[in-house]
Amino acid sequence: MHGCVRSPVLRLIGVFVAAHLVLACAIGRPEGPAGAPQPSEPPASLAPGKQEDGTMTIDEFERDANAAVAVAERYWSARFANSGQRFVPIRRVITYEEAGEVTCGREPLPANNAAYCPDGDFIAYDVDWAVVAFRRVGDAFLFYLLGHEYAHAIQVRLGINYRYTIQQELQADCLAGAYIGDSVRGGSLTLDNGDLDEFRSGLLAVGDDPDQPWFAPGAHGSAEQRTEAFFDGYERSVNACLS
Ligand SMILES: [Zn+2]
C-alpha cells in the first residue's frame, strides 16, 4: 500500500508497465505484419481520432498499435543499418485476453499487462486492458508502451544486461523516447497538441512507489527518473541512453 492517490486511469497505467520480464505461444497480432511501411505511406499520426461520441474505435486501436510497432521496427532497422549491423525484427506481437493464456518460458503472463519475452522474441499484451487504456489515456501512451517493450528487444540484440532491473527499465524508457523523438524529427511520426502532455502524465503515473528500494528486482524507477529518462532519449536520441 502507498499513500498517494491515483486516479483509476493512472492506476491503470501503473499496472501497465509494472511487469514485463519474461514470458511463447501465439494468438495472432492485431493484424498484419509489422514490416516497414511503404515509402509512400503517410506518417503515422498520434492524432486522437475520436468518434463524435468521444470513444476511439477498435479499428483505430489496431491501426495505432500496428503503426507503433512498424515505426519502431523501421527506426531500429535504420539505426542498425547505419552502424553496419544486421537487424532482425521481433518475431511477433501477440494479444491475449486471459491471464495465463500466453506464457513466456514457463511464466504465465498476467492480465492487465504487457511484456517483451526474450524466450520466443515477442511482445505480448492484454488487448482488452490496452484498449481501455488507449481510450482513457490517449494514443501517445500506446506508442510509448510498445516502444518501451520493443526497446527491451533492442537491449537483447545489443547484449545489454544490467545488474539491476531499474537500469534496464530506465534505459528502455530512454530508448522509447529516442525512437519517438527521432521518428518525429525524421517525419515518420507526427505529434498533435497534447501528445507530449500525454507522455508526461503517463510517465508520472508509472513511477515506482517512493518506498520501493531502487535495487528491488521489480524496480522501474521513480516518476522523476522515468520522465527524465524518456525525455533524455526524446531530446538527445540514442546516445543519451547508452552512456
Ligand atoms: Zn520494461
| pLDDT (tens digit per residue) in 83-102 | 999 999 999 999 999 999 99
Give the separation between CA 179 and CA 148, rounded to whole angstroms: 9
Instruction: Tell me, in angstroms, the distance from the centre of ligand 1 to residue 148's CA.
Output: 6
Give the mean model confidence (pLDDT) for residues 59-74. Answer: 94
Instruction: Tell me, in angstroms, the distance from the centre of ligand 1 to residue 17's CA.
Output: 6
- Phi/psi for 99 (5° steps) reads -60, 135
Instruction: Tell me, in angstroms, the distance from the centre of ligand 1 to residue 86's CA.
Output: 24
User: Is the CB of residue 168 less than 8 Å from the CB of residue 158?
Assistant: no
- Phi/psi for 205 (5° steps) reads -85, -20
Can you tell me whether residue 108 is helix, strand or coil? strand
DSSP string, 146-177: HHHHHHHHHHHHHT---SSHHHHHHHHHHHHH
CA 201 to chain centre: 15
Instruction: Tell me, in angstroms, the distance from the centre of ligand 1 to residue 42's CA.
Output: 29
Give the separation between CA 223 and CA 213, rounded to whole angstroms: 14
Instruction: Tell me, in angstroms, the distance from the centre of ligand 1 to residue 146's CA.
Output: 10
Is the pLDDT score of 15 beyond 50? no
Instruction: Tell me, in angstroms, the distance from the centre of ligand 1 to residue 48's CA.
Output: 25
Handedness of CA 157, 159, 164, 166 (dihedral sign): negative
- Residue whose C-alpha is closest to residue 71's, from 30, 91, 43, 32: 43
Q: Is the pTM of this model over 0.85?
A: no
**Residue 90 neighbours by CB under 8 Å, 6+ apart:** 34, 73, 116, 121, 122, 123, 150, 153
DSSP string, 185-224: HHTSEE--TTHHHHHHHHHHHTPPPTTS-TTSTT----HH
In eight-state DSSP terms, residue 94 is E
Give the mean model confidence (pLDDT) for residues 165-189. Answer: 95
Is the pLDDT score of 48 beyond 80? no
Can you tell me whether residue 114 is helix, strand or coil? strand
User: Using 50, 70 and 90 to split pLDDT, how confident is the model at 172?
Assistant: very high
Give the mean model confidence (pLDDT) for residues 32-41. Answer: 35
